[in-house]
Amino acid sequence: MNKEMAQVLTQTGPDTAMGNLLRRYWVPIVSSEEIALPDGPQVKTQIMGEHLVVFRDTQGEVGVVSEFCSHRGVSLFFARNEEGGLRCAYHGLKFNRHGHCIEVPSAPEMCSKMNIKAYPCIEQAGLVWAYMGPPEFQPAPPELEWSTLPASHVFISKREQECNFLQAMEGGIDTAHVSYVHRFEVDRDPMHVGTEALKYIKADGNVIFTIEKTDFGLTLFGRRNADEAHYYWRITQFIFPWYTLIPPFGHHALGGHLWVPKDDHHCWAWSINFHHDKPLSDQEVKDMADGKGIHVQYEAPGSFRPKQNMDNDYLMDRKAQKNKETFSGVFGISMQDASLQESMGPIQNHDEEKLLPTDRAIVMARRMLYEAAINLQEHPDALPALQPQSHHVRAAGVILPKSVDPLTWSKENLAGGLDRPLYTI
Ligand code: FES
Ligand SMILES: [Fe+2]
């Protein structure tokens, strides 16, 4: 990828081409439980280079506002959350969830001039989502399958990843790597173990992709050999601009990710598991909370930095690597991915990469994002996945006779939304 394209794709701050594109979509900011209580503790976070404070006001409504007081720039992380707003700890200016300044104790007449930035937000699927783009383009709320299910059916965790969102997200698009880095982990992991899928994934590491461009992004059809007469197809989706779905593993919960830039050198990696038709079992929830499957353990309570991180070489275990307990020496599916993606540097040097045929989906995703970002001014409405109905897609895993075209099969068996049967082995 040339320098100019790499720069466009990896720079997401305010007034960058990619930043403007990403801000046209609803952005997951924090989980609702981080700000569970009205007038409870606010949290600070960073999204696409912007410092934000998120709080639940006296009425229980959520505010997503600029972190810094309009007076002399003090962080509202230190503010008092009380009586319908945040009161800056320094000189007592007060802001409501719309960012309006509602009190300037020393100069009440200045109130209307002291507003801070605030973003419209919604709560859905246990997350606080904000819309950070131009008001005239605010889209309808997302309708990804996991974002519309009852809370009992869904488990979501978040972790901080120390690299640009693009190279992290590309790991979610690139399902070819499962045959390698996750090879041994999946035999033990409770969210993957005991499925027929693994037999084919392991036997055939040479996945061949057919990729279809759609109104939401891309559908990837990954082909592996099953037997003489059949292929095993893993069908998965990249939904604009940062969602990936994981091909299913037997009866286990479905999964997906989303990757939001924190700044250009860090991202928020959200990991989602769900059953489309029933609650998660207590055991599944326990396993996920313990960091199994695509979830992780954390460095400290309240921290989103994983316990395995670059400062401790991700708790690399060379003996386990030698003994084929873990392919790379790192344990845990998400930390296997994160360790490799962080090892590329905060922003991968795209000048040096030499792409292979298995990277075709990544190339297409990059191209779609780049073109949408560059053309945003001239074609502000021609963006994929702005219509929530377009999110109604589900990953699948299916064995088909070699003569069957998977695109035709998927039009007949998957199209038309989420009311279709789940295809999984
Ligand atoms: S800096 Fe916030 S009130 Fe003075
Ligand atoms: Fe992975």
- Per-residue pLDDT, 323: 95
What CA–CA distance (Å, rounded) separates 308 from 227? Answer: 39
Nearest ligand 1 atom to the CA of 91 is 3
Nearest CA to ligand 1 atom 3: 91
Measured in Å, residue 57 CA sits from the centre of ligand 2 at 39
Q: From CA 283, how far away is CA 18, in angstroms rounded?
A: 40
**Per-residue pLDDT tens over the stretch 14-48:** 999 999 999 999 999 999 999 999 999 999 999 99
Residues in CB range of 415: below 8 A, 6 or more apart: none
Please give the average per-residue pLDDT across 99-126, as a whole number: 97
190-229 residue pLDDT tens? 999 989 998 998 888 888 999 999 999 999 999 999 999 9
At 232 the pLDDT is 96
- Report the C-alpha gap between 370 and 7 in whole angstroms: 10
- Cα 177 to averaged position of ligand 2 atoms, centre (Å): 6
CA 187 remoteness from chain centre:
25
C-beta separation of 271 from 146 below 8 A: no
Q: For residue range 333-386, what is the model confidence (pLDDT) as tens digits?
A: 999 999 999 999 999 999 999 999 889 999 999 999 999 999 998 988 889 999
Give the closest residue (by CA) to ligand 1 atom 1: 72
pLDDT for 366: 97
Among 239, 241, 256, which residue's Cα sits nearest to residue 293?
256
**Burial class for 179, CB neighbours closer than 10 Å (0-12, 13-18, 19+):** buried
Cα–Cα dist 202/9, whole Å: 33
Please report where in the chains the tokens 């360790």 appear, as a residue: 339
Asked if residue 80 has its Cβ within 6 Å of ligand 1, the reply is no
161 by DSSP, 3-state: which?
A: strand
Checking if the pLDDT of 420 tops 90, the result is no
